[in-house]
Amino acid sequence: MNTKVFDDIRPFTAEELPAAIEQLLADPHFREVISVVFPQMTFDDFAAQARSCKTPLEFQKAFCYHFLKQLVATKSSGLTMDSSAIDKTGNYTFISNHRDIVLDSAFLSILLLDNGFSNTTEIAIGDNLLIYPWIETLVRINKSFIVHRGLTIRQQLASSIQISSYMHYAIQEKKENIWIAQRQGRAKDSNDITQRSVIKMFGMGGEGTLIERLQQLNLVPTAISYEFDPCDYLKAKEMQQKRDNPDHQKAPDDDLINMQTGIYGWKGEIHYKAAPCLNEWLGTLNADTPNNDIFLMLRDKINVEIHKNYKLYPNNYIAADMLEGNTAWGERGHYGENDKAAFEQYLNERVALVELPNPDRYYLCRQILLMYANPLYNYNKAIES
């Protein structure tokens, strides 16, 4: 395979790492970021340690791992993963719901190491997040591959073929793990539904029948559950902006604000659960099934596996009862009066954070409640199915 066709999207190789690190260290904006992220280190010490890293994995272990561990210790009440359904000696495409711009994939990488896997994960990241040149350099050092957005239909097709081919190459040849979200962008209302276009893209690379190409990616649906979403009020704000003005477009700094808020905001408990690899299930499908039907069946399977593996918190049950105007879940023992009082106070505080000239407090409140109730709604549907 001619791997040069991936040069504009793939992570940096070990051979490219020294030049990429020098480029990063020379950026004045990156120097400012490091002074905030690693206040205990001088920039010279950081630079010396970065230059000593021989591979992207070494860079991740030297900096990203310890930063994320400190973040978990100070901005959450715990980070856990149930990976019992998959073999730790394998490598997989983890396809998950998407809550946080930065942390969904970052937490998965450190969880894999903590759970006995030998490697982290390569990360699919949209180029809309590469706001500054140093961010693109950093994410490609940090094992990310670039997904181009805002393309024409013809360009989208070419890009999807390139991404799919790269994913097959990374899984089959490089023996890397991959993380990709089940949809483009975060589900603002936490109604996590897999986009058919993502599933269709999976089948564009590889060799053999469609089912064989899908099996080559070692797909593992993965549920991510946050007790609190630090960006809940920002998501609600964007929903009102789009409601009031259907043509509303995010400002260039909006994604950066969401990134910062998501990283440094309080998250409560965080839990990841990996479903079994879908290769065996894919093998049960009739080889004569039309491709479009396979895509739809796979989409529905991923949805169910993610939904039924959520970890639910009192907030999820309280939000559902508040939306429905009753205390049904509380009466079944899923939360107590103290839980409800604390969540109601939290909800009021979040709505108050929304900065708009005409905040619709009822609408904002309802949108935040839906963010916390939808995982419960989807969990119940998945269990019933």
Question: How much is the pLDDT for 255?
Answer: 87
Low-confidence ranges of the chain (pLDDT < 70): 1
Question: How much is the pLDDT for 252?
Answer: 73
The per-residue pLDDT for range 37-85, each reduced to its tens digit, is 999 999 999 999 999 999 999 999 999 999 999 999 999 999 999 999 9
Per DSSP, the three-state class of 100 is: coil
Task: Give all domains of the chain, ordered by start, each with its CATH number.
Answer: 3-230+265-310 (3.40.1130), 315-384 (no CATH)
Q: What is the Cα–Cα distance from 379 to 310, expressed in whole angstroms?
A: 7
Question: How much is the pLDDT for 1?
Answer: 67
Q: What is the Cα–Cα distance from 49 to 68, expressed in whole angstroms?
A: 17
Ramachandran category for residue 53: left, alpha or beta (phi over 0 → left; psi -120 to 50 → alpha): beta
Taking the CA atoms of 89, 90, 91 and 92 in sequence, report the sign of the dihedral they define: negative
The per-residue pLDDT for range 3-39, each reduced to its tens digit, is 899 999 999 999 999 999 999 999 999 999 999 899 9
Phi, psi of 248 (to 5 degrees): -60, 135
Q: What is Dmax (Cα atoms) for the chain?
A: 62
State in Å, rounded, how far the first CA of the chain is from the last one: 42
What is the CB neighbour count within 10 angstroms for residue 330?
Answer: 17
Cα-based angle 34, 38, 43 (whole degrees, multiple of 5): 55
Whole-model pTM: value is 0.96
- Token pair, residue 210, equals 């469609």
Q: What is the Cα–Cα distance from 31 to 283, expressed in whole angstroms?
A: 50
Question: How much is the pLDDT for 150?
Answer: 87
